Amino acid sequence: MERPAGPRPGTKGRGAVGGWAEPSAAPAGRITVISGSVGAGHDGASAELSRRLRELGYAVDCHDFLDLVGRRTGRALRRAYAMELSVAPRTWGWLLTNLEKRDRMAAAVGRSAARVASARAIQALDGPVPPRVVVSTYPLASQVLGRLRRTGALAAPVVTFLTDLSVPALWIADGVDLHLALHEVAAAQVRHRCDGRIQVCAPAVRGAFRPAVDGGTEVARTRARYGLPPTGRLALLVGGSWGVGELAEAAADVASTGLATPVTVCGHNRALRARLSRAGIGVPLGWVDEMPALIRASDVVVQNAGGLTSLEAMAADVPVITYRCLPGHGTTNARALDEAGLARWVHGPARLAEALAGVLDGEPGRRQRAAGVELFAAPSPIDSIVALADRVAPAVIPRTRTDRTRVGALR
């Protein structure tokens, strides 16, 4: 998988707790973006939103929520999440399912995150120029920011940018001023959970993810660079930057259809790559630095989580199917993408060949591509963020205080 472009949240001077990004050099004002470095999806959206805002003259500082809970705790949470998805993914599905069914449990998780991270969040938002807007691309960050808004500790309005089409309970926090949803399917889920402002916007995907335009020359070069078959259909299998899920089984299933050669992006999962190499199943790849070109060189993307790579494929006009999806968010995203007509959810090996044939050459593929074009025709999320920032006069936003009295009141 490809690392998100732009500065990584949490880096010194651009995202360290208490740091800020050249506020005096940005006449448009300062905007803070808080992400969460679990996988690449949340950071990818954060990096692209930040890039576009900087182009408009805003000073943007990016923070990693896992730093706000403490670096040691954050690293432990990241490792635990990766381990759960890799070793016991059904337990992750069980947890999310129970959070959805039990609003009190979800609220308790949100309150716990807010108590732990509130003080560090206030420190991160402090600076010589207060933020005009704070944007969250991570559920627990939204919980913290919503709490700060409700208690009056944060004067700047808060925007939650929903990175997926499914919206778990943890994404929704009282106190958030605006939720940006990628589709009406996602917006409907937000309305079911809260009465706040909701707007539908286009995904935050880098411009490098675009359709092929050179008559196949770039595709041929990319296939040669990665040792892929020069002719024939390619199915690009992805499982996030950690290469999680039943990717080996999915690759074998794709190969057995005879319709496409599976190309599996294993990311950091070296064991998966070795397993596929030993079995001689398709072409296994490790970490890929040129995902836009690799997607354009493929004929279909087979994914299991419904995250950023799915949206990047749609931006590149490459059809997507969901197969052997991860429990929890993988299943809920699969359902939402299927409902939106953006990616067919294939429920088992017996239906895989028919689904592949449909998206490769049939009407289902044409309908999915049209739905993808419509998805990206929605207004840019930047329009909503900037409109909110422009309504906030810098003079009326007090600097965020970090004194012990105020921090203690949030606990």
pLDDT per residue as tens digits for the range 207-261: 999 998 887 899 999 999 999 999 999 999 999 877 889 999 999 999 999 999 9
In angstroms, the CA 282 to CA 218 distance is: 21
Confidence tier at 112 by pLDDT (50, 70, 90): low
Q: Give how far the C-alpha of residue 6 lies from the chain's centroid of Cα atoms, to the nearest Å.
A: 15
Q: Specify whether 396 is located in the same domain as 251.
A: no
In angstroms, the CA 156 to CA 403 distance is: 18
* Residue whose C-alpha is closest to residue 381's, from 209, 220, 179, 99: 179
Cβ distance 135 to 153 under 8 Å? no
Count of residues making up the chain: 411
Confidence tier at 268 by pLDDT (50, 70, 90): confident
- 248 found inside a domain: yes
Q: Specify whether 372 is located in the same domain as 384.
A: no
Residue 107 main-chain phi, psi, to 5 deg: -65, -40
Look at residue 324 and tell me whether its pLDDT is greater than 60.
Answer: yes
Look at residue 24 and tell me whether its pLDDT is greater than 50.
Answer: no
Q: Specify whether 62 is located in the same domain as 177.
A: yes
* Residue whose C-alpha is closest to residue 57's, from 24, 8, 10, 16: 24
- 124 found inside a domain: yes
Angle CA 220–48–234, to nearest 5: 25
Q: Specify whether 131 is located in the same domain as 182.
A: yes
Percent of the chain scored above 70 by pLDDT? 75
Least confident of 121-130, 297-306, 325-334: 121-130
Cβ distance 139 to 161 under 8 Å? no
* Residue whose C-alpha is closest to residue 313's, from 204, 221, 174, 211: 211
Q: Which helix (H) or strand (E) holds 352?
A: helix 352-361
- 11 found inside a domain: no
Task: Work out the average pLDDT over 258-273.
Answer: 95
Question: Which CATH number belongs to the domain containing residue 351 in this structure?
Answer: 3.40.50.2000
Look at residue 100 and tell me whether its pLDDT is greater than 70.
Answer: no
Q: Specify whether 164 is located in the same domain as 87.
A: yes
Confidence tier at 125 by pLDDT (50, 70, 90): confident
- 29 found inside a domain: yes
Confidence tier at 396 by pLDDT (50, 70, 90): very low
Cβ distance 137 to 42 under 8 Å? yes
Q: Specify whether 280 is located in the same domain as 136.
A: no
Look at residue 94 and tell me whether its pLDDT is greater than 90.
Answer: no
Identity of the residue numbered 325:
C
DSSP state of 24: G
- 17 found inside a domain: no
Three-state SS at 384:
helix
Look at residue 15 and tell me whether its pLDDT is greater than 90.
Answer: no
Task: Work out the average pLDDT over 141-155.
Answer: 88
Look at residue 60 and tell me whether its pLDDT is greater than 90.
Answer: yes
* Residue whose C-alpha is closest to residue 321's, from 353, 297, 287: 353
Task: Work out the average pLDDT over 333-356.
Answer: 96
Confidence tier at 86 by pLDDT (50, 70, 90): low
Q: Specify whether 142 is located in the same domain as 155.
A: yes
- 105 found inside a domain: yes
Residue 91: partners with Cβ closer than 8 Å, 6 or more residues away? 84
DSSP state of 4: P
pTM for this entry: 0.82
Compute the Cα dihedral for 390, 393, 399, 405 and give only its sign. Answer: negative
The total of structural domains in the chain comes to 2
Task: Work out the average pLDDT over 77-93.
Answer: 52
Q: Specify whether 234 is located in the same domain as 189.
A: no
Confidence tier at 109 by pLDDT (50, 70, 90): low
Q: Specify whether 311 is located in the same domain as 169.
A: no
Name the more confident of 75 and 185: 185
Q: Specify whether 190 is located in the same domain as 80.
A: yes
Cβ distance 262 to 247 under 8 Å? no
- 12 found inside a domain: no
Q: Specify whether 240 is located in the same domain as 342.
A: yes
Look at residue 409 and tell me whether its pLDDT is greater than 50.
Answer: no
- 54 found inside a domain: yes
Task: Work out the average pLDDT over 373-399.
Answer: 82
Q: Which helix (H) or strand (E) holds 134?
A: strand 133-136
Look at residue 28 and tell me whether its pLDDT is greater than 60.
Answer: yes
Task: Work out the average pLDDT over 2-29.
Answer: 45
Q: Specify whether 391 is located in the same domain as 368.
A: no
Average pLDDT of every residue of the chain: 82
DSSP state of 332: H
* Residue whose C-alpha is closest to residue 319's, from 338, 336, 333: 338
Domain of 357 in residue numbering reads as: 217-376
Task: Work out the average pLDDT over 378-383.
Answer: 97
Sheet holding 178-181, edge to edge: 59-64, 30-35, 133-136, 158-161, 178-181, 197-200
Predicted local distance difference test score (pLDDT) of residue 34: 93
Confidence tier at 327 by pLDDT (50, 70, 90): confident
Question: Which CATH number belongs to the domain containing residue 157 in this structure?
Answer: 3.40.50
